[in-house]
Amino acid sequence: MINLIVTSVGDSYNKEVLKFISTEYSKNFKLFLLTDKPNLFDNLNTTFYYKNVFSYFEKFLFGLKILNQLQQGGFIWDADELHTLETDIDRYNIGDESIQFAGHWNEDGKFRSILEREPSYWGFFNELITDELDFYTIQEDKIWFPKNDYTEFLNHLESLHVPFMVNSIKNGTHKNGVGNGEGVALGYSLFKTNLKFKSIYNFK
């Protein structure tokens, strides 16, 4: 079975998970679920999300710690994209050593162009980092992480968590969550740790 890690905080996301697990296709996966309503998923491997405010970083901090413990690869997939899993999964080569994701944020793919377009939002990160602006952003909703030791990657990601939360509170949250823009943090952490990665889509 393929490991599938999903974060589901909020009624609309929990409904998407319930819909997915009712399908025959879901039986192909070993599901690990971070949710604020574990009582809805009695027969699943659930972890209770107890915090009052949801941070988008949590899905990766939770998921990568699980993969490290298992010493296996797996998908970290957004709950509201589970309906695309059956059609999209063949795009991924799970025998490959690269982290695979569904594209970059824009055609150029690099943080520098995001910063130039939205300097008021991303200026905090430009001040935070001291080296390279031309790292790639990561589309964060559908990612395959192969078997690897993600300890260093997690350390980099965790070090960015609070600054991203503070910035989102000051400059704009997304769907009642904080820490939005995690695709930039993922891309920078990949750059700093030299992990192999590739996009499975061209920019549309």
115-131 average pLDDT score = 84
Q: Quote the pTM value.
A: 0.92
Q: Can you read off the two tokens belonging to residue 11?
A: 């009624």
Residue count (the chain):
204
Domain spans in the chain, listed from the N-terminal domain onward: 2-199
Digit-coded pLDDT (tens) for 132-172:
888 999 999 999 999 999 999 999 999 999 998 888 888 76
Name residues whose C-beta falls within 8 Å of residue 168's C-beta, 6 or more positions apart in sequence. Answer: 174, 178, 179, 180, 181
Structure tokens at 122: 């991303």
Q: What is the dihedral of CA 69, 75, 184, 10, to 10 degrees?
A: -90
User: CB-based burial of residue 172 (10 Å sphere; 0-12 exposed, 13-18 middle, 19+ buried)?
Assistant: exposed
Q: Which residues pair with 30 in a beta bridge?
A: 3
Looking at residue 180, its pLDDT comes to 76
- Cβ distance 23 to 49 under 8 Å? no
Residues 38-72 have pLDDT tens digits of: 999 988 999 999 988 888 899 999 999 999 999 99
CATH architecture of the domain 2-199 equals Alpha-Beta Complex (3.90)
Distance from C-alpha of 160 to C-alpha of 45, rounded to nearest angstrom: 28
